[in-house]
Structure 1
Amino acid sequence: ISSKKEEIRDMAFCKQFFAKETSQIQSAIDKVEKDIEDALQALEGKQKHLREKRSAADKNAADLINFTQLRDQSLVKLEKYSSDFESLKIQHGFTDEPHLIRLFQQSIDAEKVALEISQFDQKLAITANRIQELEAEEGVLVFQEEAFQELSTLFHELKITAESSQNQVLLLDKEIQETTAKLAEKKVLQADFAKLEIRESYLKELDNMFRGSGFVKFVSSIYLKELCNTANVRFMKLCKNQLSLDIDEDNTFWVIDYLNGGKNRLLKTLSGGQTFQASLCLALALAEKVKALNQADQSFFFMDEGFGALDKNALRVVFETLKSLRHENRIVGIISHVEELQQEIGVFANVELDPERGSRVSYSY
């Protein structure tokens, strides 16, 4: 029994010892793994740094090759420029290189110097040509004193004659100045006379106006022109700037055709749809004048028929125009039997004839 107990105690001690050793071994293994991971990370960092250094080295090698080529090319150019410089010094006579360098270091306006040289060359050429011309003239190379004295005497006589002529010119200039002043005064008088003539024509026109119905016709023509200008704002939109209305001195309406060079046409040459459009625009313009005189916020506009002669496109344009009047604070009433137009109207009163009960009225509201 005692040996059995000792055996059991030994086994427990061995178990406890091996458990402690296993824990230490596991800790050692974990530490080794961590060291391996740290070593791997460090290895990756070193490899990345090595790759960057290799890339930088490759770039530096390529740059070195490029710089070497540029250096060789620059040396070739330098040799060529040096050779050209020596040749140009000999060609232009500047063999003293220090003096030439000092000349380059001075601040010289090249354009100004070139211009002065060019002007000097031109003057030199002109002078040379003049000398050649003088030498080619008769008597220049062979000068005679007697002939010179005769020419001097003739010159003095001509000078006296010229002075006399100059005095006459001065007298003529004085007369010209006096005549010019009189002409200026005449222009002023003519301008005053023209103003008086214009005033006389105005007075005659006023006199004619106040005789009979002339003044009424004058005032009506002004209002008709304003009415025509107001109507043209819509009429030109409806006809796409192809036509416009005009009125002459006799208060007669005309049509300007811009597709035909802006020539005037009679109103009767318009189509049915165009005639309706012109009438509609004139009526709307007249309604605007009445609205302005009455200073009303709203105006009611009534249209009775007049749509039968219009095609579908003209009906669409006219109806869009009538719908746009809503934004102008207007009320438009339409009487029509045209079905296409009836379909476009939202608020209406429909009148039907019943043979037995007479006219029956139905509403859309």
Structure 2
Amino acid sequence: KNNERILEELSEEYIKIKENKVNIENIIQKHSNNLYEINIELIRTVESYAEKKKSRDEKYKEVISITRGEDTLVLISNIDEEINRITYQEEKNKKILEEQKIEYERVTSLKSNLAGVLYIEKEEYETQQNQLNQLLKDNKFESINEVKRSSLDLDYIRKIQDEIMHYDDEINIAQLKYKELKEKLCGRRIDKEKFKSLKNNINIIHEELIKIKEKISRKNNKLLNLEKSLDRVDEINKDLDKINKDIKLLEELKDVVKDKQFVEYMSISRLMDICENASNRLAFITNGRYNLEFDKKLNFIVRDNFNNRAIRTIDTLSGGELFLTSLALAIGFSSQIQLKGNSILEVLFLDEGFGTLDDKTLKQTIKSLEEIYSKNLSIGIISHIKDLKVYIPAKIIVTSPTEKEGSKIKLEYN
């Protein structure tokens, strides 16, 4: 009794260790899931960091391209002055353009009036041109241009030309700057407040970048801790496997060294083989629904796989299910006798029980019997079920006696 009590304590300890193992496996799975989520979050953080860095670099390049390294406040002031000057010049040019349009319309109207006068004036022009040519010849001038050049001072002419060229250059430069600034602004206006807001946004992005780097560092530390935990879990699993092997060995040794328990130990070992064989047979016949086991008191029990693997006692089975269980167990015993016995088992008789089976279960049962049939083992079925005749190749038909004659026996083959 003391040994049995110790055995029960060891069994309870073994169950607790198994439960602890399951808990550790759940913890491992939980850490694995956390590690997976951390990896995903790390990837997202890196991608977010890359996108924000790219956005910051683009904005920084945009600011540099606008300022060109100059002081932003001075540049803004110069841009404002330049915009005001260009705006003023544009308004002035618009007024001039309007005046020129009015003048153009006036000239156009005069053109039609002068078209008729042109012919007369042309004739007069030719007459005057002839007179002019005669005068140039008389005064020893080659052309009218020579006369005009002679009428102006050369320095004065150069000064006027320089002023014209300088004015044209300033107009071209102003137009280019105006076009460049207009393209960069895209319809926007840059003021001091907006530029200050842009600068603040850059500072905020820098601060967010520092926070992201710190967050990545914390995540990396957490990841290292998780990896250490996983390594520790692996070590615990190895220790647990070793403990389980030691417990199993101790249990076997304990059963062996018990007083007068060695035979029981061998019997249980053999019963486990028989039960496993019968369980596989029962699972095949019942389409995987039932498995046969035995409890601590060596009572046979059935595990119902279609009902959350619930454990059922034999007395809860129906008549057909009980027959199938008994058949599977009988086949298991016969297999062990064939393998281990000194005497050859030549015939296995099954008496009734088939009437409680449906057609599908009956076919699977017959198929299971056909698998164990061999030259050294014959299977006899005693039954009143006529449907069995289809499956049995050789039959002994027994006719009940009457008042006139006794029982009759007839051989029948398929």
Do the structures match in fold with TM over 0.5?
A: no
TM class by shorter chain equals 0.3 to 0.5
Q: State the TM-score, normalized to the length of structure 1.
A: 0.41
Q: State the TM-score, normalized to the length of structure 2.
A: 0.37
Structure scoring higher RCO (CA < 8 A, sep ≥ 6) equals 2
